Structure 1
Amino acid sequence: MTKHGHKIDPLHTDLWIDGAWRAAETRFDVVNPATEEVLASVASADIADADAALDAAERAMAEWAARTPRARSEVLRRAWELMTGRLEQFAHLITLENGKARADAVGEATYAAEFFRWFAEEAVRADGMVTRAPASGARILVQHRPAGLAVLVTPWNYPAAMGTRKIAPALAAGCGVVIKPASETPLTMLALMPLLEEAGVPKGLVNVLPSRRTGPLVDHMLHDPRVRVVSFTGSTGVGRTLLRSAADQVLKPAMELGGNAPLIVFDDADLDVAVEGTMLAKMRNLGEACTAANRIYVHERVAADYTRRLTERMAALKVGDGTDPTVDVGPLVNAQTRDKVAEFVADAVARGARVECGGTVPEGKGYFYPPTVLSNVPGDADCVHDEIFGPVAALQTFTDTEDVIARANDTEYGLVAYVFSEDFRRALQVCERLDYGMVGLNRGLVSDPAAPFGGTKQSGLGREGGHEGMLEFMETQYISASW
């Protein structure tokens, strides 16, 4: 029990292997970023635990993969129902370990649960085909089969959703999984396990291995011949390392990596829509998202009005402990993240940017950073070339469409971009020329379980969500037959 009265169930701090809680020789602390107090001591998995989890997943998958698609679908549907009934509990836990404000946490919990419902529907739609070869006349039978065991590695910024976005399609496809949650935020994923058991997920099909030895642990699992898929969400640097390990076993990789999202506001944009969209694209999850608007380009003709409106909205946000329902903005996840944001702001200001609001680390406990608007940000500022991962809106101006498209595409990343314009024809032309896997057109939110989420270039491989999300965990088999 912390001094704020937030109780963490001690039963949900061990490893989850083969449908049971399992202790570990070593443990690590999970800290509340709003208070800097220890929330819980969590078990840290080692190599032997990884082997036990893979053994359990292999046993469980044999029976699960043999079930009918409808049978798997019903279990996932039940998981959605159960999680939807407990959104407040999950949201509270997300806030405690991640820091995000209550409304944001409820939004994540709702989004996380929705993956179970979506993939409950997709589980019965792994459609194949029967056709005839034009030259030989042989029948071509195509079907999709479970790929095999999957190792899932998730980040700290969405403790629930990044796990369910991988678990749900893997189970829909018929695979068994071992998930390694981020050390900063393992509690939410551990708390989900009894719910999945209640929903009817077989013992051993889903295993959770928190660990401070992420690198050696994951590398060991990726070299186990039973593992056929690795799904990772996180930085591009770590993604490259995992891809090298995956190459040894020629695993199917699903990689959702870093971003550097441009947000373009044209002179004909509805500024009410544009500012609201910017608030969503920038401040959802406090900017701690690979989809966060990182470079904001505003047409010179509307820049002053847009900046004034955005600054008013950002300055009005209430900062504090996210467990307070009146708080809009909680703390960043740790001191390192907060300090990096502060460094980005200091660098931009030193190069000529102007602080419209925020910009100063507050005193006291907690990893807080205020909502900040920077105008006149130069193109050589560090925050233009790297993910800010915090509540800082970095504004630049433009006058020429060709120029802003070139600037928007001038990055190794290609996850998401945002465009605001009332000229729909011009806007769609711009969208098609942006080298990004996703574009929000007059919207600041693109994430949806029904849509294929993913990027181009250094932002990743494969897609999550949509129908494609399930196919990442399946192999296509073709049978040539004559009759």
Structure 2
Amino acid sequence: MIGRVIGGHHDRPPHTRPCGRGTALPSPIVVRPDPRNYPMSDKAASAGQSARTQRYDGPLELLINGEWTQAEDTQTFVVDDPSSGQAVATMADASVADALTALDHAVDAQKAWGALAAGPRQRLLRQAADNVEAAGAELAATMALEAGKPLPEAHGEVGASVAYIRWYVDQIGHTPGHLARSLNGEWDMQTVYRPVGPCLLISPWNFPLLVAARKLAAALAAGCTALVKPAGLTPLTSAVLVRCFVEAGLPAGVIGFLPTTRDADISEALMADARLRKVSFTGSTRVGSILMRQAATHVQGSQMELGGNGPLIVLDDADLDLAVEQTMIAKFRNAGQVCIGANRLILQDSIADEFLEKFVKAASNLAPGSPFEKGTTMGPLISSAQRDRAVSIIRQFVAAGGEVLYGGSALERPGHFMEPTVITGVGVECELAGEELFAPIAVAYRVADDRAATDFANAVDHGLSAYVFSGDLGRALQVADEVEAGMVAINRALYTDPSGPFGGVKASGMGREGGHEAIYEFLESKLIAARLH
């Protein structure tokens, strides 16, 4: 294995072991983007102009038993704008006592919510989807404000979230169970599906709406009550989402909302309570492993979408213009802070130089900036710690023999901005290849052939996403089949859809979100056998 990734997403320290000797870090390359290459829609631009003149005015409290309330100990925490470093809101900080009170009410509400017929449940959740769609401009502006997403990306996340909610609404009518006769013909077997019970839903900061929406919609569609715990860096978007569900008319106690900076204490207390029956978590492998160990005590169900180290393979018969265009999306959207993003660019030797020439030119046209500025095509990193970690990783690659073809530095401006960075010259044996970058850093590796590409793709602990570019569909399918990943995209960067399963293998997690089977993550089958004579 190439290194052992310490964790997924954003909360692990970078590798410290060098892989060789290299040159000193070169002087930063000044970014001179042409914003005309990435125009913003009029709708996004107008929403941005409006957001710049308004502060966040959504919920700033916990939701417990249908009431928005301050934390029991009145503690709060500040939410910052990563594009300026300035505070934008002060949120109630849930305590362990608040979390257990919310669980009390979720338990009380479970029986009635779980017994609600499919039709009424569909009507409530359909209204919630309508509410989220109607709040689209507010949600997009809130994501831009607290997560630094450029408005076009934020609007795209709103649309995807609405699609997931509507998908789960439709799935409610497709889980009635089935009837079968025993093999000897002496009794009938009725299989019915029942909600697992109260769930803890933990969502990350990088997709604060999409991940929370698809977890919440799946749990509620299955008839489970839910405690929503957003990331402390981005609680505002989830607060607006929860408000949309509450205003659809859901009964008190069905949803609890627990923004907090006391994540470990709250999760530990809730997982220690046998009344909680399921945890669905998106985040680092390190934290996911802790939650799974805690779940073992009461045999609680676990759905985990953890870290990634996505290989993006470009074979020698690929359409290089298409590959570059799609790699820009797979690598640099959300400033590289995407669990399914391209983490390792694996290039066949014969086309590597041409690909990198085109790729560096495309990267030079990216426009880092405020998410509300027309022409911005890449926002900030989420925090100064994340930015400093990215700079440290670049220095380690250079120390390992890497060459910075473009970028390489933090930008000297307010906020947590990085230059888009392209690095080459690092061998596949480098320990750093096992590190999830989670930053706008593209590292290119060269391989001789298909076998070398798949061997390197599989030589890490994780297996969430992968990408293959080839002009021969049969060849691409063969490589895709051999890559150890829960999801593989061929000749495209964007592939997630409500109708398809989302999740990984190996250290990237267990269970799936989306697809026909995802609602069953929150259901348990029950057999009822009736003697015929």
Q: Which range moved further: 92-101 or 80-89?
A: 80-89
Counterparts in 2 of 1:103 and 1:20: CA distance versus 1, 3 Å: same
Q: Is the 8 A contact 2:333 2:378 kept in 1?
A: no
Please give the alpha-carbon distance, in whole angstroms, between the structure 1 residues aligned to 2:285 and 2:66.
33
* Structure 2 residue 62 is the aligned partner of structure 1 residue 19: no
**Shift in Å at residue 200 of structure 1?**
2.3
**Shift in Å at residue 474 of structure 1?**
0.6
TM-score (norm 2): 0.88
* Structure 2 residue 378 is the aligned partner of structure 1 residue 329: yes
Residue 30 (structure 2) aligns with: none
Given the alignment, which residue of 155, 158, 169 partners 2:207? 158
Structure 1 segment 273-422 matched on structure 2, within 5 A: 273-381=322-430, 383-422=432-471
Q: Which range moved further: 172-181 or 55-64?
A: 55-64
Q: Is the 8 A contact 1:282 1:393 kept in 2?
A: yes
Local SS of the residue matching 1:199: coil
Please give the alpha-carbon distance, in whole angstroms, between the structure 2 residues aligned to 1:27 and 1:279.
39
The residue type paired with residue 20 of structure 1 is E
Local SS of the residue matching 1:144: strand
Q: Is the 8 A contact 1:344 1:382 kept in 2?
A: no
Given the alignment, which residue of 306, 312, 320 partners 1:263? 312
Counterparts in 2 of 1:325 and 1:199: CA distance versus 1, 3 Å: farther
Q: Is the 8 A contact 1:347 1:381 kept in 2?
A: no
**Shift in Å at residue 171 of structure 1?**
0.6
After superposition, give the CA deviation of every residue in 1:398-417 in whole Å (9 maximum; x if it has no partner).
12211111110001101111
**Shift in Å at residue 269 of structure 1?**
0.9
Structure 1 segment 455-466 matched on structure 2, within 5 A: 455-466=504-515
Please give the alpha-carbon distance, in whole angstroms, between the structure 2 residues aligned to 1:8 and 1:175.
30
**Shift in Å at residue 110 of structure 1?**
1.4
Q: Report which structure shows greater RCO (CA 8 Å, sep ≥6).
A: 2
* Structure 2 residue 475 is the aligned partner of structure 1 residue 426: yes
Please give the alpha-carbon distance, in whole angstroms, between the structure 2 residues aligned to 1:160 and 1:459.
21
Structure 1 unaligned runs (5+)? none
Q: Which runs of 4+ in 1 moved over 6 A?
A: none
Local SS of the residue matching 2:527: strand
Residue 131 (structure 1) aligns with: 180
Please give the alpha-carbon distance, in whole angstroms, between the structure 2 residues aligned to 1:48 and 1:363.
43
Please give the alpha-carbon distance, in whole angstroms, between the structure 2 residues aligned to 1:162 and 1:300.
37
Counterparts in 2 of 1:124 and 1:4: CA distance versus 1, 3 Å: closer
The residue type paired with residue 129 of structure 1 is H
Residue 141 (structure 2) aligns with: 92
Q: Which range moved further: 119-128 or 144-153?
A: 119-128
Please give the alpha-carbon distance, in whole angstroms, between the structure 1 residues aligned to 2:164 and 2:122.
12
Structure 2 unaligned runs (5+)? 1-50
Q: Is the 8 A contact 2:292 2:302 kept in 1?
A: yes
* Structure 2 residue 125 is the aligned partner of structure 1 residue 76: yes
**Shift in Å at residue 138 of structure 1?**
2.5
Q: Is the 8 A contact 1:454 1:464 kept in 2?
A: yes
After superposition, give the CA deviation of every residue in 1:40-99 in whole Å (9 maximum; x if it has no partner).
111111121112211222232222212111221222222222212221210110011111
**Shift in Å at residue 349 of structure 1?**
1.6
Please give the alpha-carbon distance, in whole angstroms, between the structure 2 residues aligned to 1:73 and 1:31.
36
* Structure 2 residue 156 is the aligned partner of structure 1 residue 107: yes
Q: Is the 8 A contact 1:354 1:376 kept in 2?
A: yes
Given the alignment, which residue of 497, 514, 518 partners 1:448? 497
Given the alignment, which residue of 254, 259, 263 partners 1:214? 263
Please give the alpha-carbon distance, in whole angstroms, between the structure 2 residues aligned to 1:332 and 1:324.
16
Please give the alpha-carbon distance, in whole angstroms, between the structure 1 residues aligned to 2:322 and 2:128.
35
**Shift in Å at residue 284 of structure 1?**
2.1
Local SS of the residue matching 1:471: helix
**Shift in Å at residue 380 of structure 1?**
4.6
Please give the alpha-carbon distance, in whole angstroms, between the structure 2 residues aligned to 1:201 and 1:422.
50
- Give aligned pairs, total: 480
Sequence identity percentage: 39
The residue type paired with residue 511 of structure 2 is G
**Shift in Å at residue 4 of structure 1?**
5.6
Q: Is the 8 A contact 1:347 1:382 kept in 2?
A: no
Q: Is the 8 A contact 2:428 2:456 kept in 1?
A: no
Please give the alpha-carbon distance, in whole angstroms, between the structure 1 residues aligned to 2:456 and 2:424.
17
Q: Which range moved further: 217-226 or 257-266?
A: 217-226
Please give the alpha-carbon distance, in whole angstroms, between the structure 2 residues aligned to 1:434 and 1:380.
18
